[in-house]
Structure 1
């Protein structure tokens, strides 16, 4: 170790210096558009010492779990599938002691809706806006969305993975 660094550390220890507590998570926002807060963040800074939860990609559950799910209609349109998936994610993060407000990063994988011939970005955003930038959760997330040719099964239109972080 460098003599200057070592002597500085010794001096700090002699003064009773301790490591500074971890700062909070910083959510760097985008400017509001048309008087509405931005849907997503520009970026997020997570300090050392924060705990992090990585949730694998989740898919929608069937609308009626008592029936066999064999068509897209059994899972619903993009908005319905996104709502189902976000509710599943909510249960997962809560089971690990986190909240939806702790989610900092979201990645969306969207298959083309056969009725539209492309991904239904409006549908997924409508579902997203029921969980973020709302009175129960004023936070939003850094987010990416990708149209993919297909997901794990032919009836899925939405897969979402998230990262949550919090300072204890």
Structure 2
């Protein structure tokens, strides 16, 4: 069973959701679409006054909308050069340069990229893609030797796959990888799911720092 660090479950959830919302949520919100949504559609409620918000304030789901829910996924143990059960084991070797992470890229960031690629593969098998994701739940463990989760590293990984286009122009917005200058995202995606992130005492697999669940909706045109 997952255990939340230091705080009770109820308190931890309230704090984590409040911190996440505080990063993006102004006093008013805007949405593209009608309420309630038409059958088979979803409408995301987006923060007002932001050209590239990271998450939605919420998502309304229309009647008869087919949805897909993933199990919790962590990064794959792809780095066989690292010992089993270590954090380095769950870095994708394609992200390494001469066997090392690029400058400023954290273990949590690298594991986040790894797990989001896995989620993309699972979505594709279900006939979906990243831009169909409407909600996300993120569980983060503090890296070895650190007192708290690496929320900044996770957010950099997240922006490589989600919420990386301008609302005004629809064009991609460059995002940083570690300490490098912002560059085109790995996957251009306008989707901004509703999301929370929690710090967890122990994730279920030794070496995992990130576990993610998502919900996705099938667009009406695919019915």
| 1:81-116 alpha-carbon deviations (Å, 9 max, x no partner) | 111100000000111011100000000000111232
Of 195, 212, 215 in structure 2, the residue corresponding to residue 143 of structure 1 is 195
The count of corresponding residues between Structure 1 and Structure 2 is 146
Instruction: Report Cα offsets for 1:130-158 as digits up to 9, x if no partner.
Output: 01123331111100000010101221100
CA positional deviation for 1:166: 2.3
Tell me how far 1:75 sits from its aligned partner.
1.8
Q: TM-score if structure 1 supplies the norm length?
A: 0.80
- 2:214 and 2:204 mapped to 1: Cα distance? 17
Q: RMSD of aligned C-alpha atoms? A: 1.8
Shift of 1:67: 6.3
Any conservation in 2 of the 1:25–1:45 contact (CA below 8 Å)?
yes
Q: Deviations over 1:24-60 (max 9, x none)?
A: 3101001345xx5211100001101111000000011
Matched, 1:155 2:170: no
Q: Which residue of 2 aligns with 1:111?
A: 141
Change (3 A) 1:82 1:50: same
- The structure 1 segments of at least 4 consecutive aligned residues displaced by more than 4 Å after TM superposition are 65-68
Counterpart in the other structure of 2:115: 85
Give the unaligned 5+ runs of structure 2.
1-37, 92-106, 165-171, 173-187
Alignment of 1:30-109 (within 5 A): 30-32=47-49, 36-65=51-80, 69-76=84-91, 77-109=107-139
Q: TM-score normalized by structure 2? A: 0.61
In 1, distance between residues paired with 2:210 and 2:80? 18
Cα offset, 1:70, TM superposition = 3.0
Structure (1 or 2) with the greater strand fraction: 1
**Secondary structure of the corresponding residue to residue 162 of structure 1:** strand
Q: Which consecutive unaligned segments of at least 5 residues does structure 1 have?
A: 1-20
Secondary structure class of the residue paired with 2:155: helix
Bigger Rg, which one: 1
Q: Secondary structure at the match of 1:124?
A: helix
